[in-house]
Amino acid sequence: MQEDFILDDIQLINTDGVGPVSYYKLLNSYGSAKDALAYLSSKKDVFSRKEAEEELKKAQKQGIKIVSIRDENYPTLLKELNDAPPLLYVKGQSDLLNYPATLAVVGSRNASIAGRKIASRIAYDLTNADVLIVSGMARGIDCAAHKGAMYAKDKMGPTIAVLGTGADVCYPDENKELYEQIAAQGCIISEFKLGEKANASNFPRRNRIVAGLSLGVLVAEASLNSGSLITARLALEQGKDIFAVPGSPFENKSGGCNKLIKDGALLTESADDVLQTLAVTQNRTLKIHQNVSLDIKPLDNEKKESIMPESKKNDIEPDGILEIVGVAGIEQDDLIRHLKMQTHVALTKITELEFDGLIERQNGSFLMLTKQGLRKLK
């Protein structure tokens, strides 16, 4: 019987012209998805039962759960939205859907090293304080936050990635390894049908889920026109706490965060700022760190700090290349600029590290540490 309800929902939500809001209106008018389908079928073509059955079988084959809003496992926070997704596709640990303390971390795709570092560090500390990090698995800040979270709890930290594609579609392509790791340690969530490719109109819809799953939203780095500000606005409309990391007024990438702070967002420099606020506004008992990030110094021209939550100096490649690349990765041109050496010398050293199996390229010019490279930083 439960499977019949899921099939009804798959049919209804995938019928042309039916979105979350119209789905709930139809349910209110006709009492059930089955009766709503009966009404619609007299007016238009509906998503067929055969297609719905194929969708369910495809999900089951890939180990993806389809969770209905009627299911007790459906996220309670998300139910508060008037356009909550009627169905969620969940790959990984579905028991994380109602984790007691959650925070969204979002920011620029083209993030600076410093921006990715602070996002990773705060995510790492919050995860160790039993706050679950939610983000969108985009390049830049999202990736850094997911990686920082998963590095916590002895490299077993959970995290949730909300996709703007089908739950079986990794986007961007270079995040394939990250996608698999999140599915293993946390979970991947999507409201879109399996196989759905990246589409610009999908990501604002994705953002409302990121905000809806969380008690608050931290914007780690964002320009004035960043999509991250949409997530912050959605969270504000939902009555959530908004946190922002301040930046230099001369940096375009800090403009969005600085404006949020001017408008009343909570200035955030460490996990403590988030934990103390959540403990008050959510009336929760949370682990409060004592200056957890004071040992993490900002990047400057003389010293390059890793985006790794705990950088260890022993047995590290002399020029610090592995530290700069860190768990979040870096564009080759950015790495060369930070090394402050002649380009041909830097390229030679990068090539040597590739041959040694310590770093690898993704998408042509983006450099990532391999598992062997990560071990060398321990």
Where in the chain are the domains?
A: 1-61, 95-281, 298-378
Q: In this structure, which topology does domain 95-281 adopt according to CATH?
A: Rossmann fold (3.40.50)
Cα torsion for 132, 64, 211, 179, to the nearest 10°?
70
Q: In which residue are the tokens 């010398």 written?
A: 345
What local confidence, expressed as pLDDT, does residue 296 receive? 32
Q: Which helix (H) or strand (E) holds 324?
A: helix 321-325
Report phi then psi at 119, rounded to 5.
-65, -45
Query: How large is the angle between the packed helices 255-262 and 228-237, nearest 10 degrees?
Result: 20
Cα torsion for 219, 124, 325, 335, to the nearest 10°?
30
Q: In which residue ranges of the chain is pLDDT below 50? A: 289-316, 318
What local confidence, expressed as pLDDT, does residue 302 receive? 32
**How would DSSP label each residue in 150-211?**
HHHHHHT--EEEE-SSBTT--SSGGGHHHHHHHHHHSEEEESBPTTPPP-TTHHHHHHHHHH
What local confidence, expressed as pLDDT, does residue 317 receive? 55
What local confidence, expressed as pLDDT, does residue 286 receive? 58
Cβ–Cβ < 8 Å for 142, 159: no
Cβ–Cβ < 8 Å for 133, 146: yes
Q: Which helix (H) or strand (E) holds 217?
A: strand 216-219
CATH of segment(s) 298-378? 1.10.10.10
Closest CA to 93 of 181, 4, 207, 204: 181
Report phi then psi at 218, rounded to 5.
-105, 120
Q: Which amino acid is at 167?
A: A
Burial of 6 (0-12, 13-18, 19+ CB in 10 A): buried
What local confidence, expressed as pLDDT, does residue 328 receive? 77
What local confidence, expressed as pLDDT, does residue 374 receive? 80
